Amino acid sequence: MNFVHASDFHLGYVQYGLPERFRDFARAFDRVVNYTIQSDAEFLLIAGDLFHKRNINAPTYLQAFKILAKLADRGIPVYVIEGNHDLAYQRDVNSWLQILDAQGLLRLIKLKPMPECGVKLMGDFVDVDGVRIFGVKYLGSQTRNVVPDIAREIETVNEISGKPDYTILMMHFGMEGILSTSGIGELSYNSLVPLRDSVDYLALGHYHVQYDREGWIFNGGSCEMVSMSEYTKPKGFYHVVDGKASFQKATPRPVERFGIDASGTQSISDLYGSIRSAVDGISRRDAKPLVEISIHGELLFSRTDISIEKIRAIVSSILDPLWTNVKITDTKEPLSYSTDGPTRRDVIERSVIEEVVKGSQYRSHTNDVVDTIIEAKQLAITGVDSQSIFYRLQDSYNAVKRKHKGQADLPFERGCADVD
């Protein structure tokens, strides 16, 4: 037994609008196909998201056709399931994976009933030299509910068709605890336990990072960086020989991502100097990198004085990147007060509140909202009870609402029960 398991190639993705990134995703797929050939693998598994879009264009189709043809020419089959990016639109009926299946370039494993034996989902499978391969397309939030049915139906199929030496199940979902934020259709390990007795190798796709669980659940991740948040995460594919899986690292385009804390930086030229020093410390790569710079901190100058083009020019002169993105986030600008004399506390307070309100959805009511907030604070300081403050806020809200007919409602009415 010798096979390769990969997923999430996202062919056709023109990331950042760059034609070179479109080619990068094809190169990543081509490298896995070449590895499959060189390793004398019996077959290649693709656990969903071969494509980035459900409705692909001609150049994307040609990429898939040419690369898959290399395997077809050598008699190496490709077994695939549909990920969420591969599913056909209802109006189209057929997905592009079905088209490639019809052309003999891959074998799409689908959900299929076997009414005569009570099987509703797992009637489509492939047998290869004692290995039985099942597949389940992306089901989203329904996935958790069908896991017990999948386990039961695999056992039923094995009773009817004979128990194989080794069982593979391809699915497309993410496991809990892998990403910092939860996604649709995530499953816990415990929810997958019903599959353990009937599945030797659960080949997953969907999340673009590598992980494995308990020696039978494997997810290699994407072989290219689909989102900038993935750039530090391991990604690649699995090569399985006689039941032993080894992770093969992919070689995506290099990414350089770093933050610049501008707090205390006295001038724009000093900021540019800090950026140049940070970039100078990065070694040049064989491939042009993707670069992202995030500027944060408390500024001593206006953020509008920062030239994005100047920063890009600095990066280009040192790294010759394919793409540079500059983000100015979580920055605070100095408040412009008169320096003729000491600034009163109430003036500072009002300026701070105005800055907050101007950056919110209530900016069209800035003066009224600021007045009301300051009044509520003064009432609280003088010991007025919370119910009275609430009534005062409600009166202010009604007055402002009459004054600004036709505009968006103010926030004073919502959440008022939580005043105290």
pLDDT (tens digit, 9 = 90+) per residue, 122-172?
A: 999 999 999 999 999 999 999 999 999 999 999 999 999 999 999 999 999
Structure tokens at 47: 């656990």
**What's residue 241's pLDDT?**
98
Do the Cβ atoms of 148 and 197 come closer than 8 Å? no
Pairing of strands 217-219, 211-213: antiparallel
Do the Cβ atoms of 112 and 27 come closer than 8 Å? no
Do the Cβ atoms of 151 and 116 come closer than 8 Å? no
Do the Cβ atoms of 50 and 86 come closer than 8 Å? yes
Nearest Cα to Cα of residue 172 among 133, 138, 126: 138
User: In this structure, what are the phi and psi dihedrals at residue 134, rounded to the nearest 5 degrees?
Assistant: -110, 165
Name residue 203's beta-bridge partners: 170, 218
Structure tokens at 358: 């101007």
**What's residue 356's pLDDT?**
80
The model's pTM is 0.77
**What's residue 375's pLDDT?**
76
Q: From residue 389, give the alpha-carbon distance in Å to each of 34, 382, 401, 417, 418.
A: 72, 11, 18, 11, 12
pLDDT > 90 fraction of the chain, expressed in percent and rounded: 67
Q: From residue 40, give the alpha-carbon distance in Å to each of 45, 107, 139, 182, 278.
A: 14, 19, 33, 38, 45
Render pLDDT for 26-46 as a digit per residue (tens, 0 to 9).
999 999 999 999 999 999 999
Nearest Cα to Cα of residue 171 among 10, 347, 49, 314: 49
| Placement of tokens 């797992």 in the chain | 122
Q: Residue length, the chain? A: 420
Number of H helices and E strands in the chain, helices first, is: 10, 15
Render pLDDT for 232-245 as a digit per residue (tens, 0 to 9).
899 999 999 999 99
